[in-house]
Structure 1
Amino acid sequence: MEALRQLEENMVTAPVFGPQPRPPVRELSLEDFLKHHPVKFNRKTSPDAANQWLKDLERIFYAKTCPAENMLAFTVYMLTGEAEHWWTSTKSIMEERGKSVTWEAFRGKFLSEYIPDSIRYAKEVEFLQLTQGGKTVTDYAEKFKHLSHFYTLPLDEEWRCQKFENGLRGDIRLMVAL
């Protein structure tokens, strides 16, 4: 019996083949989120700043694989002043109409409130008319990237590259074409 017991103690378990089980993902807490130093939003900004604020929050959420319900709660936590009042009112109207109050719904309402269609349309036109002109290629590329976010139609990579190339100055376009 003693020999059997020792044999069982010394047995090596067979190696497991296949993917290793992933460690459980710890849900992002508000404290974890705040460690990334997100900025509060109070409405007194430009449409570009509002758009950047939302993108900055989304970058944290996606990097930390934050669940949608936490994304909404954390974003609302970052609203202050007029923006907080706007969301309280908007949320009440949505609930009265039986609409779901989700992250996607918040995102859509936020964009339409702080980046009105008229501004989005103007940025879209600016993107379509963008050329390098007297800008450096780096400045042109940054402006191109920034304005392309406002373009509402889906951009495939080939169209995007062609648009960028066509906007370059003639002398640079020739070098790129070669």
Structure 2
Amino acid sequence: MPVNPAGLTDAEVRASLAQMAQNVLRENPPVRSMADRLRDFTRMNPPIFTGAKTSEDPQEFIDELHMILVAMGATNIEKAELASYQLKDVAQSWCKMWRDSRVLGGVPVTWELFKTSFLERFFPREMKEAKVEEFINLKLGSMTVREYSLKFVKLSRYATPLVSTSREEMSRFLTGINGELEDECRAAMLHDNMDLSRLMVHVQQSGHMVRDCPQNRGQAGGNAQPRPTPQSAGAAEPPKRNRFYALKGREEQEKSADVVTGSTLSFVTPLLALNFEVLPEVLHNPIVVSTPLGENMRTDRVYQNCPIVVSGRAMCANLIELPMHDFDIILGMD
């Protein structure tokens, strides 16, 4: 009987044998001991938790540990066993007491059971609520944009319902940034490929431009702009801006050269606009609104053809987003 009836070459025979060996290993993987697992685990430099330091973050410890265990392909029972090796000091004592208190022959200790019990002990509800409150009140303040971004990402894990979508995540990130920088970067959210990472880079770049602007460095405060000198008359003119004034009386409006009486502009607050199902469009020429109190507000976002019902009458309006909190909607005179 011929040894090689198909007439295969030596290379084809070796390839066939190698494929057969791989199939056998795939169907019957070698059994690894817990000692082998522990050795692989420690080589990945997992974090340690003591439970005795105020600087330790229990949630961060669990999240980082879980990523390593998933990468190893550990089972749920192996995850719980390996995680216990990273508990030291107070946490180690708690783990021993917790395991000893369990009924012999009961349900095996899985990862979910270990994680739930661990967080209940070292990260109770009061601590979670404090983290959520810290996230809600997070502001750029004196931090750099990079420091603010890192802290935002770290705290957002405790308030996932507030950042459940990409738009909510980006909007919340910009809430902690005030002034012209926020106005500049909210328009960037309209790009289809924009996400939080790209937005953070955009904010950092825009922050440098706003800070380094000669006009911002030269102004001590307020909204006044320096008059152009004769030497700079030939320089490029700044972009034109629409102006809308909310003055106290009609007589005062008619005397102003900058006001068109009978304006049809309509406005909406950013808070109410969050509930809209349409995305805003960016105006090419930003609008500057001057209030009776002498404040100037700049806006460049408009929601087109929004349906509105007033006293049973339906109509459509183009609502310009205005950063004020004293009203919900202002409808134009038409």
TM-score by length of 1: 0.77
Aligned counterpart, 1:92: 100
Judge which range, 112-121 or 67-76, deviates more.
112-121
Equivalent positions of 1:29-68 (< 5 A) are 29-46=37-54, 48-68=56-76
CA separation in 2, counterparts of 1:170 and 1:99? 56
> Which residue, out of 122, 125, 130, partners 2:133?
125
**Which letter does structure 1 place at the counterpart of 2:60?**
Q
> Can you give the 5+ residue segments of structure 1 that lack an aligned partner in the other structure?
14-19
- State the Cα distance separating 1:94 from its structure 2 match: 4.0
SS of residue in 2 equivalent to 1:88:
helix
Determine whether 1:75 maps to 2:73: no
Identity %: 24
- State the Cα distance separating 1:108 from its structure 2 match: 1.2
Q: More strand by proportion, 1 or 2?
A: 2
TM-score by length of 2: 0.44
- State the Cα distance separating 1:53 from its structure 2 match: 2.6
Check 1:6–1:139 CA distance in 2 against 1; reply closer, same or farther (3 A cut).
Answer: closer
Check 1:61–1:70 CA distance in 2 against 1; reply closer, same or farther (3 A cut).
Answer: same
Check 1:7–1:103 CA distance in 2 against 1; reply closer, same or farther (3 A cut).
Answer: closer
Aligned counterpart, 2:6: 8
Alignment check: 8 A CA contact 1:71 1:103 kept: yes
Q: Which has the higher contact order (CA 8 A, sep 6+)?
A: 1
Aligned counterpart, 2:112: 104
Structure 1 or 2, whichever has the larger Rg, is 2
RMSD: 3.0
Determine whether 1:168 maps to 2:166: no
**Which letter does structure 2 place at the counterpart of 1:73?**
E
Check 1:156–1:94 CA distance in 2 against 1; reply closer, same or farther (3 A cut).
Answer: farther
Alignment check: 8 A CA contact 2:49 2:56 kept: no
Q: More helix by proportion, 1 or 2?
A: 1
Alignment check: 8 A CA contact 1:94 1:100 kept: no
> Can you give the 5+ residue segments of structure 2 that lack an aligned partner in the other structure?
14-21, 188-334
Alignment check: 8 A CA contact 1:68 1:102 kept: yes
**Which letter does structure 1 place at the counterpart of 2:186?**
A
How many residue pairs are counted as aligned between the two chains?
Answer: 169
Alignment check: 8 A CA contact 1:94 1:101 kept: no
